[in-house]
Every structure is written in structure tokens, then in C-alpha cells.
Amino acid sequence: MSFLLPVGITSYQAELPKVFSSNSIGCLSAIPTSINGRRWINICGIFGYIGKQNASEVVLAGLKRLEYRGYDSWGIAILADQIKINKKVGAIGDLNQALNLPKSSIGVGHTRWATHGGVTDINAHPHFSTDKSFCLAQNGIVENYQKLKDDLLKKGYKFQTETDTEVIVRLIEEKLKKTRDLKEAVRQAFLELSGRNTVIILTKYGRIIAARNGSPLVVGVNNKEIFFSSDTLSFAPFADKIVVIDNGQMVYYNGKLNVIDIKSGKSLPYRLEKIDFHSSKVDKEGYDHFMLKEIHESPYVINQIVNRAESQFENFIKAVKQAKNVYTIGSGTAGVAASQIAFYLRVFAKIKAQSVIGADIFEYYDLLSKDDLIIAPSQSGETADVLEVLEIAKKRKVKIASLVNMPGSTMTRMSDFRFMSFAGPEICVMSTKVFTSQIAWGYLLGKVISGKGKVGRENLKILSQEMERYLDAQSNHELIKKLAKRLGKSKDIFLLGKYQNFNIIKEGMIKIIEGSYIHAHGIPAGDLKHYAITLMEKGVPVVVVVSEDVAKGDVLNAVNQVKARGATVIGISSTSHPSFDHYIPVPNTGETQAIMNIIPLQLLAYYMAVELGHNVDKPRNIAKSVTVKYYN
């Protein structure tokens, strides 16, 4: 994620170097930095383990669960008679050979996603200290790394990599000259780092030390086993309790778990929290790809929303009704979910909700007040450009509600109202079932506020049943496969929709772009005649989504316009139409029709990716929790 702090906001400000060298950054995180006048942010994953199992195998399993955070390179370090490291370029999920690491009870690992800097074995984490007494992996960016590196070079330190991470290692070595205590050297070094960083360190004495400022860090605990990670998903099968490490805190294990305040060095109390994510499986379960499996899980996650007690909304509904302004906010697919949630609030609850994109909300800062409320859906709960807005909103005493799929996330912890998607782990970088669960939640919220929560729940139950039947029918898949093969040869694909389906075609557009790498454009049906009609000609594919609602006539009118100009029309609807060249039938589920309609669009994107031979679960150039923006 990336963002630019507006004038007057001092949080996370630091003196930035004017220019970074072209291969300077190891793993980027959720804090802005300047590279040739641009701002970059990214996310990696860290993992650590202490316990009775073979550490390399546990760390490997953890990193595979973290791979949605980055998959250009990986590394695992374990302690036997000495620290051993195995690290390589490529996705750790593609690993099909032995790790060549001895058995051990302690280890750390890292999976990397770099938007800038060489993707090489030597740049992969972890990085050794000079004497190999410890190694370190990082999720973050050291904004002042160049100044620190220059100072260390003057003191005679040598650098082997192009990363900013190695600067942290050498800085710790410098601090060790004044103290024999490694954790104290880590604490002192961490205080000199600008930007958001989380580091994890394995020592030759059998300790793991981790420190956090910004990038997430959670600790899992179970039967004397300790797990350190960027998220709870990575150790969900093994731990039933977590400790969320807050910004400015360091944690280490030396026979028992210790948390200290980085600034003062004083010990801090911590609280164990139960998690119910442990039963979630990360397994394709016979499906060819995680994406297909996760689409098939959509009916289940809708039922999870239905089965949550209505009392969860009680205090929240009061806050929504009392709010002067209600904003929904998200980025990427979560931004589309936020927009659909706002739609349902307007249509069913008669709430004047407005959706905004997390990466483009600067004009709203001066408008936020303590009488407002923000609803933020997110898969990870760590989306940086949304967190930036929430940080400012919190200072202005705006009430915050989050809808997140990751327990213990930053977004959840800073919210006044905390809701979970309960979608289970979503491994494919292209979000499917989490999006479905979030807009189903928005629909139910709108119905509950309107006093028709029971009707809303019944409608979602029917939707879940119809969706399951639709997904189980192989004929539906065969039809979409044929259309995917045809669309895979296209240069451009257009999508039309209106009213409840406007956000659905926007999300369909995102999925097609992510999966096929083909340009797609989602157009409000009413806007067609204002500009996009100039692009309609013979053979241009247009996917149209039509429901039995007040907008049906307008949408079919747009279909006739593109058809008259020779476009090839693919209709997604519960009823066919003479202007459809190809027809994808879907069940009519009434008020929840839009949620039903996303399924064939997700399947279309999936089968296009398969047809084109793309890496379905890991599309090129993107990671699940990452965006990149540019500022000149």
C-alpha cells in the first residue's frame, strides 16, 4: 500500500533521503518512502517458531500460509550446532525439494515481495550478522537507511546485499560494541530507525527476538510452543491463543515470553487472547487452484454471516443512526465492497452513506468530525492507505467500524465496532469469498437497520442454497469455460451494469484484469452513450449483468445500443434477451441478486486465467495486501 501524508499531519513523518539508489530496498512496508520522487509501499511476511516439532517444517508451513503477502523469494533459518540458512528466489509454495536443513526446535523465516531492488538469492532474507551469531528478517522499510549506511561505512562495516535490511543488522552489531546484551542492542538500534518496521531475529543462543513499529506482529501460544508471525493465519492450526504486539513493543523468548517497551526498556504486561481461526485449513482439497475452492466456499461464508446473532449489530445500529455522516472506505476489491455496503445502507436503511477509496480520500480529511462514522471492510486489516485515514479519523474522534477477515489485525484493534468476515483463510491473491461475505454482511446490516433483519437472514439463506446449487452444476462451469476461451483472445473487454449491479461489474472488471492481464472496463449502463459508445464496434465483447429490478429497462436499452454497433454481448441474467449473443443463466434471488451475480464473473476470471496459462493463485505484479502509487 502507499500513501502520502497531507500537509499538517506529523504522524510517521521522518526526514526522507531525496534519492534512493536503483537497487536499494529489501522489503517494503506500510509507510511512505521516496524513490526518485515516487512513493512506494509493500508487505512481506515473517515467521518464527520455538517448540517440540521440527522447526524447518513448521516455518515452511507458516511461510506457505503467508505467501499471499509476497512470493518473489523466501528464506528459512534454524539453529542446530550453529545457525543454518536456506534462501532462494521464487515462491516457497513451488518448493518441491528438501530444505537441506538439520532438525531443530527453533527457527525463523521470511517470504518477500519487492517492488524495487534486486530479486536475488543474496537479497532474500534472513541476513546474517558478520560473525553469524544471529540473523535477521524484516517486514518494513528503513526510511533513513542511507544516512545510517553512510555512517556505518565510515566505521568500516562491509555490506553484501542491496537491501536496507542489512543496515539494521550492521547497526545492531555497532550497538553490541557498547552492550553484551543482544536484545538491548536490538532495542537501541530500533530506536534509530525511521519508518514502519518489524524485525525478527534468531540467535545462536536459542532465542528469538522481534520488534514492531507499524508492520504487524502477533505471537501464537499453545502447549509451550511459541509462534511469531505477521498474521494469525500462518499458525492457526497450531495455536489457540495469541498476543498482539503493539507498535513500539519488543518481544523475546528465553524460556518464557517477555514483552518490553522499546522506548523505555521496561517490561510490559500482556494478555492472551483466544482465536477461533485454528480450524481453518489451507488445503486445495481436490480443487486445481485455491481460487476455485474459495469461490465454492462462498455459500458457506454467507451462512456464517447469517448465523451471527443479530445482537452483534445492536450498539452499532445506534451509532449508525446517530451519525451525521456515514462513510464506507476500502481499497481495491475491499473498496468495491465498501461501495456496495453503502448502496445497501442507502436503499434498505435509508442512511445517507457515501463510499470513498482509501487511496483517494484526502479532500475528506477536513470534513471528518466526532459526529461521523466510518465503516472499513478489509481482508487483512492491514491496508495501509485505509489505516492512514483511520488514524486521522481516530484523532478526530470519528467512530470506526471494521469488517476484517484476519483476527488480531491493526484495523480491528483501532476500531470502536469490530466485525469479522468469518470467511476462513483466503489464499488466492484474487479475493473472492471475502468479497462475497462482506457485501452479504452489508445487505444484512441494511435490512436489520430497516427493521427487517429476519427477512434479510431468510433471503441470505435462500441465496446460499441457490448459489451452492449453481456452483455444483458442472454445466455452468462448462458454459463459462467456453466463454473464457473466447474472451481470452480479446484485446479489450467491457462490462455494463446499473443500480445493484454497478459495483458487481466493477468487481468483475477487477477480477478479469487480475486473472487474465487483459484490459477490462466496467461502465455504468447509463454512461455508455456519454463516452464509451465510441469504442463499440463489430466483435467487441461486452459482458452485461441484468437483474429483475428497476434498472432492467435502462440496462437492456444499453445492450441494444452496443448490439446495434456490432458488439458481441454476453448476458448474465435470470432471463435471456434477444440481444444476448451468449447467455449465462443465474437464479433470480430478488434483493440479493447482485451477490449471486458476482459468482459467474469470478468463475469467468478464473477460467480465463487457466485458459491463458497464468499463475491463478499468484497473479503477476500484485500481492494480496499491496498497492503501489506514484507521486512526482
**Which backbone phi and psi does 515 adopt, to 5 degrees?**
-85, -35
392, 368 Cβ separation under 8 angstroms: yes
Choose the catalytic residue: 293, 511, 563, 624: 624
- Please tell me the distance from the alpha carbon of residue 101 to that of residue 287, in angstroms, as a whole number: 31
Q: What is the DSSP string of 324-379?
A: S-EEEEESTHHHHHHHHHHHHHHHHH---EEEEEGGG-GGGGGG--TT-EEEEEES
- Please tell me the distance from the alpha carbon of residue 340 to that of residue 596, in angstroms, as a whole number: 13
Longest dimension (CA), the chain: 81
CA proximity to 50, closest of 174, 201, 158: 201
Choose the catalytic residue: 27, 44, 135, 428: 44
- Please tell me the distance from the alpha carbon of residue 335 to that of residue 377, in angstroms, as a whole number: 8
CA proximity to 262, closest of 201, 164, 193, 206: 193
Contacts of 470 (CB under 8 A, 6+ apart): 476, 586, 587, 596, 599
The answer to whether 44 is a known catalytic residue is: yes
Q: Which residue reads 546474517 in cell numbers? A: 128
- Three-state secondary-structure class, residue 186: helix
Q: Which residues of 330-344 are buried (b: 16+ CB within 10 A; e: fewer)?
A: bbbbbbbbbbbbbbb
3-state helix, strand, coil in the chain (%, to 5): 40, 20, 40
The answer to whether 428 is a known catalytic residue is: no
232, 221 Cβ separation under 8 angstroms: no
Q: Which residues of 199-222 are buried (b: 16+ CB within 10 A; e: fewer)?
A: bbbbbbeebbbbbbbbbbbbbbbb
What are the catalytic residues?
Answer: 44, 624
